[in-house]
Chains A and B, each alone.
Chain A
Amino acid sequence: MPTILHSGSAGTIFGFVALACYAFSAGFYIAFLKKPRPLFGWLATGLAATGALLNLESLYARSVALKSVPYRDIVGSLALLGFFLAVLNILLELRHRDRSLGPFLMPVVFVLLLVALELPMAKTAPAPELRGPVFALHVTLNMLGYAAFAVACALSALYLMVGRSLKRKKGLTLDGPFSRFPSLSYLERANRTSLGVGVVASTAAFCLGAFWATRVWRADHPNWVLDPKIVTVLLILVFYWVVLVRAHRGAAPVTTARLSVAGFLLVLVSYTAINLLFSKLHVFT
């Protein structure tokens, strides 16, 4: 009989404060894009960093309450994805001294955490096979991969928007929010880097998952490889490898950008619909 666990109220409180930080951070990022006042910028970054720390604290508190990695259920996995996105946003900002991704990423981070906090949390202790470093690393790397693909998607969307505004002859303007976006060459480079991080993390996660599955599922589910989730992830991984190799070989940046956006849409489908509706084995507990 599964053990009933406490809901992890400490984690929830930290989660709600993190949510507030993310909301204000997103607001200040958008305000900064419209009017680049230094105060708005500092507040946006500072609140994003505070939100990320509290998000991590929330995950830790939940981990203690669940006696497992905190992201074996969808609540935890969404919260972790939000955390990675916030961290990647801050890292890119510090690396390139550019706040143009924040207005796009932080609202997503906010929504992810909001959904995570709204959904019911796992109340049972994890099965023994869901404990241990292989499973934990598999999920963590997967989330890192998803976050990197999300960043690549945001960078690509920016590339397409900036490119479109530059292609337009009528009403072309050199000021306003568009002028504060990074150059096309930066967006292209950063997109390649994000794709690289995402592909490497996801491939490692897939390998670890396969290793874990051969040990845990082999007996009861010999055909685990044919699970819709596994098949979808493998196809997405192949897709991203092709995009990455093409990009490094000098494919037209606009094509890479379009493929990055399309790839992330596939990721979202895999993460939500496939997980929740089609997969028999790969379900959140």
Chain B
Amino acid sequence: MNGELLYIGWNHRVATLDLREKLAYSPDEAREALEGLFRAHILTEGCIVSTCNRSELYGLTEREDGIPEIADFLSRFHGIERDVLLGAATSARGDESVRHLFRVASGLDSLVLGEAQILGQIREALRRAVEHGTARSITNRLFQAAVECGKRVRTETSLGTRPASVPGIALSLTGRLFDTLSGRRVLLIGAGETVELTARLLIDDGVTDIVFCNRTQEKAEALASSFSGRTIPWDQRTAAFADVDVVLSATGAQEPIVEAASLKKVLSKRRRGPLLVLDLAVPRDIEPAVDDIADVYRYDLDTLSELVKKNTLERQAEVPRASAIVEESVDKFMDWVSTLSQLDVLKALRAKLEDTRQKELQRYGPKLARLGDDERELVNRLTESLVAKILHEPTIGLKTGGVAERLERAHVIKTLFRLEEDSH
């Protein structure tokens, strides 16, 4: 294997959202950037992972100054100052870069620990890079190993089984009340980001009947037209509880907008089974006394956040097991890499010794010419045997011991025999 794996990236831990937004790549931009790096002889192959939480570039370089060179290139590519980029970057070379990608794929480096979306995003990044021809033998294998590692973490640990975000928890709760959300009627009160995001999630879950309600009717109507829903006037918000299965309220009101007493009256005429009420507003939109009404299941941010916290703690308990899987996967991948390195070193060493043997035979050519054919053949065999004997011990040494040990030995052999100089 010629070159070394590296990565440089900007993620939610270090880089601001502003910077991450500027560094986001469309599939075509990712190809363009990688091709530029190939043309500049900074990378020989590579793949870019670009999500809302990270923009990371993985590749193979033959240059010692690979990382600063990539930063220079990306600074020009994105039009961002080099110092700004380097100040918020994380990077690594060799097995550290492999470990980082495997941790990312496992959800160990995610904003919401253990989230599953990243695995699909890595798979997609690889698919595009293969399609564009930028991920070749090493990065292709690296990303496939990362996906495999992520899958193992998900199947062998419960890192990703419990939702750990407020929308995730809210959707889990609907599953406890209803077999499916499809065919259910949902009332969304408010017109902010939470309501919009929830509407999107509900549509993904097959909900087709969404009712929007907001103090400013125009805003509710705008949302309704975006999500093929309908609206009700603000003063009918409490009455509407009788005809829906799920209510989500997230307004900026300073006082409760739904009172328990009036809701109890409305629900006495209700004929729809259990009602799920999700109050995501601070301060609360719905009076907590609603809990006393039969078949009404109300959750506010306090309860949901508690669940998020609990699930996050439970996920954290799985981190050691997940990390052990990552380490196993890194070892396996580096083993494969070291095999490539060993093969390269052995090949180069054999070539160098054979070259030396030939040169020496040539040097002694006139003297050997005095010998008979049988003697010359004997000398030839003798030198061949010497080369084979000399190669025997290094061959064994490169094939036994741990990965790090073998890579170290390969490096020593390369240095002592000056194999790199010869290959240039």
- Using a CB–CB cutoff of 8 Å, the interface residues on chain A facing chain B are 162-163, 166-167, 169, 172-175, 179, 182-186, 188, 249-250, 252-255
Contacts and interface: CB of A to CB of B under 8 A. Distances in A.
Nearest to A251: B271
Contact of A183 (B163, B178, B310): B178
Given A185-B274, A249-B271, A254-B294, A174 B163 contact: yes
B310 A185 contact: no
A253 B273 contact: yes
B177 A252 contact: no
Given A172-B307, A173-B310, A174-B162, A184 B294 contact: no
Contact of B172 (A174, A182, A252, A253): A174
Contact of B297 (A166, A173, A250): A166
A174 B169 contact: yes
Contacts of B392: none
B179 A185 contact: yes
14 contacts: A166-B177, A166-B297, A169-B303, A172-B306, A174-B163, A174-B169, A174-B307, A182-B179, A183-B177, A184-B176, A184-B177, A184-B178, A184-B273, A188-B273
Contacts of B295: 163, 252-254
A172 B294 CA distance: 18
Nearest to B267: A252
Interface string B160-191: 01110000010011011111000000000000
B183 to A, nearest CB: 11
Given A173-B310, A185-B274, A162 B176 contact: yes
B76 interface: no
A172 B303 contact: yes
Nearest to B168: A174
A250 B176 contact: no
Nearest to B288: A169
Given A166-B177, A173-B310, A253-B274, 11 more contacts: A163-B274, A163-B297, A166-B176, A172-B307, A174-B169, A174-B173, A179-B176, A183-B176, A183-B179, A185-B177, A185-B179
Contacts, number: 62
A173 B313 CA distance: 13
B272 interface: yes
Nearest to B303: A169
B134 to A, nearest CB: 42
A162 to B, nearest CB: 7
A169 B284 CA distance: 15
Residue from B161, B178, B274, B291 with most neighbouring chain A CB atoms (10 Å) = B274
A183 B161 CA distance: 19
Interface in B282-308: 291, 294-295, 297, 299, 302-303, 306-307
B273 A186 contact: no
A255 B297 contact: no
B174 to A, nearest CB: 9
**Which 3 pairs across A and B sit closest by C-beta, in order of nearness?**
A250-B271, A254-B294, A184-B274
Given A173-B310, A174-B162, A174-B307, A167 B177 contact: no
A252 to B, nearest CB: 5
Contacts of A254: 294-295
Nearest to A186: B179
A254 B297 CA distance: 12
A172 B310 CA distance: 10
A175 B273 contact: no
A107 to B, nearest CB: 25
Contacts of A169: 291, 299, 302-303
B160 to A, nearest CB: 13
A173 B308 CA distance: 10
A182 B177 CA distance: 8
A162 B297 CA distance: 11
Nearest to A162: B176
A250 B307 contact: no
A153 to B, nearest CB: 19
Contacts of A253: 273-274, 295
A175 B313 CA distance: 14
Interface string B251-275: 0000000000000000000111110
Nearest to B304: A172
A175 B162 CA distance: 8
Interface string B228-254: 000000000000000000000000000
A243 to B, nearest CB: 16
A281 B299 CA distance: 56
A169 B310 CA distance: 13
Residue from A162, A167, A185 with most neighbouring chain B CB atoms (10 Å) = A185
Contact of A252 (B163, B291, B294, B302): B294
Contacts of B273: 184-185, 188, 253
Nearest to A250: B271
B295 to A, nearest CB: 5
Nearest to B296: A167
A163 B270 CA distance: 18
A73 to B, nearest CB: 42
Contacts of B175: 183
